[in-house]
Structure 1
């Protein structure tokens, strides 16, 4: 019985030791693959000259100035426009407790 138990203990120790070792044949190798797509290393164009004429508008409207927008492979100027101003409403107050 003792011989059987010592054999079982030896096999168990061998199994646990083998499980603790990392698999040698299946290790992952990290590879660096540089990006080969289109890339422009140019800064955005300078600000558009401030020659946009702001049209007369009501107090409920606000002027948003023009800006450069990236389109495909270059910048395109988007002119300014008017947007409706959202009315500010304070959050509802409810006492706690």
Structure 2
């Protein structure tokens, strides 16, 4: 049994020594891969479903839906009513 154990220890030591020497014998190569995340992609086309424009007064206008960037992808923002900007001059 002692011969068997010493054989395993010898093979383990040889393997460990080979693993320790291998990185020193070669040159490490780093590869630069630019990030091609979702921010490089254009937003998807607008939704094909028509938006229902609710009835509104004269001081409101309809802002159609659009794709909004949410940090890791685009999210559809539905259309909404908004107040018209005032055109007062000073």
TM (norm. structure 1) is 0.49
Unaligned 5+ residue runs, structure 2?
A: 1-31
Q: Deviations over 1:24-71 (max 9, x none)?
A: xxxxxxxxxx57657234332112225101100000001101100111
Unaligned 5+ residue runs, structure 1?
A: 1-33, 92-97
Q: 2:37 aligns with which of 36, 39, 63?
A: 39
Higher Cα Rg, which structure: 1
- Which structure has more relative contact order (CA 8 Å, sep 6+)? It is 2
**Distance in 2 (alpha carbons) for counterparts of 1:85 and 1:63:** 9
**Distance in 2 (alpha carbons) for counterparts of 1:86 and 1:47:** 25
Is the counterpart of residue 81 in structure 1 residue 84 in structure 2? no
**Distance in 2 (alpha carbons) for counterparts of 1:55 and 1:70:** 26
C-alpha RMSD of matched pairs (Å) = 2.2
